[in-house]
Amino acid sequence: MAFNNKNIFQKIFYREPHKHREPAFRYFFLIRIIPCLFAVNIFFIFYSCLQAEPARSEFTLGTLCSVNLYEQGNNDVYKEIFDRIREIENLMSVNIPSSDISLINAAAGIAPVKVHEETFNVIKNAVYYARLSDGAFDPSIGPIVSLWGIGNDEPRHEQLTHVPGREEIEKLLPLVNWHFIRLYEDTSSVFFIHEGMALDLGAIAKGYAADEAAKIIERAGIKRALIDLGGNIIVAGVKKDRKPWRVGVQSPDKARGETIGYLQITTLTAEQEESLPVKTIVTSGTYERFFEENGIRYHHIFDPSLGYPVQNGIISVTVIADVSMDADALSTAAFVLGYERGSALVESITGTEAVFVFDDKSIRQTSGANFILTDKTYNIKY
């Protein structure tokens, strides 16, 4: 039997001419079916509004950046955050030729460069931490970072897999000195007094970007969030169960995400509830970027007085603070200073703590850090 498509089609979509519907059927259709369809529609519209957008990760600032807005996850807020992070990258990355930093570097020894106010403020903070750390943190480390080629994801030179010659390092070392940076507040201008000098904000800019992301989250009325810009973490708000946040400390010798323990972070105090309470946890670690030669790990955190990666037994320093830009600068500074001077510096700043992990698998922490060890191959020293 031939299948009559036309008939089926007509049955479904065409009202048969001259044939009146039963009044009871019409009543049923108008009073029951239409309101039901309407209600189902409204339900789906509401349901889709209530559905939170999941956490978002994007590659920016030379690293993987993730933001989780939990139950208030919202496309517009995620977009605003990542647009803002890219804006900061475009101003402060040494790898972007039009950035403020590249312009300052190109004009080193020639002329001051007027920069955006926020770039100026981050540089001012970097210089503040250079002074505070007695030059252990030095934003003029640029020439050494470029020479080794392990500080950036997109090095201007070929990625080095060997140690540069001592003469090359010694030729550049005199150019690494934060005292040679001139800051002109009235015109937001920055000047390097010697040609060949170069700024590198790699140890502080991610922290600044995380702080800016947290501001957007607060303005959007988000109550709880987690920001992770390649290890620069901010926890914002209070967890649903009102328990402290648990932030893992990366295991130096295992895959990313595997931890040796965690920090218990309390964001809530009674008087803080008005604004969005935040805490930041920032780690500087040798395992972030490195290469190995003759059994020695050459990583991306340099001793500005030597021009070599710091070799002082530290594998990572994690700093806990209120402002991520401060924690970022401090974690790098404390790493270079070593445990004695680094922990003294951190202890001298109220509300700031640190956890040091050493290559002999020992761990030390400042007096108020709340580190819980889970990997028993490590041991906490008091």
Which of 119, 300, 342, 365 binds ligand AMP (CB under 6 A)? It is 300
Residue 113 C-beta: closest distance to ligand AMP, Å: 20
Q: Which residues bind Mg ion (CB under 5 A)?
A: 203, 328, 331-332
The listed partner (ligand AMP, Mg ion, none) that binds 324, CB under 5 to 8 Å by sort, is none
SS3 98: coil
Residue whose pair of structure tokens reads 């972070």 in the numeric block: 265
| 328 versus 353: smaller Cβ distance to Mg ion | 328
Q: Alpha carbon of 38 to those of 30, 41, 58, 97, 209: distances in Å?
A: 11, 5, 39, 56, 45
Considering only residues 129 to 148 of the shown chain, the ones binding ligand AMP according to CB under 6 A are 137-139, 141, 145
Q: Which does 145 bind (CB under 5 to 8 A by kind): ligand AMP, Mg ion, none?
A: ligand AMP
Q: What b-and-e string marks burial along 356-381, b requiring 16 or more CB atoms within 10 Å of the CB? A: bbbeeeebbbbeebebeeebeebeee
Q: Which of Mg ion, ligand AMP, none sits in contact with 151, Cβ below 5 to 8 A by type?
A: ligand AMP
Binding of residue 336 to ligand AMP (CB under 6 A):
yes
CA angle 125, 201, 105 (to 5 degrees): 105
Site for ligand AMP in 166-225 (CB under 6 A): 200, 202-203
x/- mask, ligand AMP, residues 80-119, rule CB under 6 A, reads: ----------------------------------------
Residues 96, 103: Cα–Cα separation, whole Å: 10
113 binds, among ligand AMP, Mg ion, none (CB under 5 to 8 A by kind): none
Choose, by CB under 6 A, the member of 89, 100, 212, 328 that binds ligand AMP: 328
241 to each of 33, 194, 221, 298, how far by Cα in Å? 43, 56, 19, 43
Show the beta-strand stretches assigned E in 40-85: 56-60, 63-68
Choice between 188 and 283, CB closer to Mg ion: 283
> Which residue type sits at 263?
L
Residue type, 161: T
Q: Which residues pair with 365 in a beta bridge?
A: 355
Closer to ligand AMP by Cβ: residue 73 or 207: 207
* Partner in contact with 261, chosen from Mg ion, ligand AMP, none, beta carbon below 5 to 8 Å by kind: none
Report the nearest approach of Mg ion to the CB of residue 318 (Å). 11
The packing angle between helices 117-132 and 205-219, to 10°, is 130
Residue 352: partners with Cβ closer than 8 Å, 6 or more residues away: 319, 320, 321, 322, 326, 327, 330, 346, 366
The upper half-sphere exposure of residue 290, i.e. CA atoms within 13 Å in the direction of its Cβ, equals: 21
**Closest separation in Å from C-beta 200 to ligand AMP:** 5
- Of the candidate spans 22-30, 160-168, 297-305, 343-351, the one that interacts with ligand AMP by CB under 6 A turns out to be 297-305
- Nearer Cβ to ligand AMP (149/261): 149
- Give least dist CB 299 to Mg ion, A: 13
Judged by CB under 6 A, the residue of 73, 149, 151, 244 near ligand AMP is 151
Query: Which residues are at the interface with ligand AMP (CB under 6 A)?
Result: 137-139, 141, 145, 151, 200, 202-203, 284, 288, 300-302, 304, 328, 331-332, 336
